[in-house]
Amino acid sequence: MLFLAHCTFEDRGGEQPSHGYLTFLVKAGDVETALDRLRARLVEAREEAGLFDGPARVYLEDLIEVRRLPPGGLIARYQAYLGPERTSIFKTFPMGEPRGCRDHVSRDDVHDEDDGEGVVTEPFLTFGPQGEGGPG
């Protein structure tokens, strides 16, 4: 079975405290094995990739067991924020691209050219108000 874990974290290291989200995907025979592998991977991420460089807490928000993937796929998590968009950083495959996996969209490298004004990205899909036709 596949298990998809969504976590939030608080990191008190670095120049200023931060908080964020991470997603973990693992193949395991049961829930306990999946959780053990998540814990081990998080420890490895701290030791080898420099994630969580100070005192940190990681919270497991949900753990989804996938026995069979629906033919049309699935939206596993939706999370919205109230108010204006907040400043954030991101890194796809923060511990390096795993063998057998490939990122087709990441713009991680655009930060090298960032002028301090942020990065502008093009929308993948745009919706108008409900009831006014389909996506544009």
CA-based nearest residue to 59, from 135, 121, 6, 3: 6
Distance CA 123, CA 136 (A): 10
pLDDT band at 111 (very low <50, low <70, confident <90, very high): very low
Alpha carbon 114 to its chain centroid, in Å, reads: 21
**DSSP state string for 78-128:** ----SSSPPP----SSTT-PPTT---SS--GGGGGG--SS------S----
pLDDT surpasses 50 at 136: yes
Specify which residues 27 forms β-bridges with: 2
Q: Across the chain, where does the E strand assignment appear?
A: 2-11, 18-27, 56-66
Give the pLDDT confidence of 3-59 residue by residue, as tens digits: 999 999 998 887 888 888 999 999 999 999 999 999 999 999 988 888 888 899 999
Tell me the residue length of the chain: 136
User: Tokens representing 27?
Assistant: 């193949």
| Confidence label for 120 from pLDDT (cuts 50, 70 and 90) | low
Q: Global pTM?
A: 0.76
Q: What is the DSSP letter of 64?
A: E
Residue 112 has pLDDT above 50, yes or no: no
Contacting residues for 97 by C-beta, under 8 A, at least 6 apart: 103
Nearest partner of 45 among 11, 1, 3, 89, judged by Cα: 11
Question: b/e for 112-129, b at 16 or more Cβ within 10 A?
Answer: eeeeeeeeeeeeeeeeee
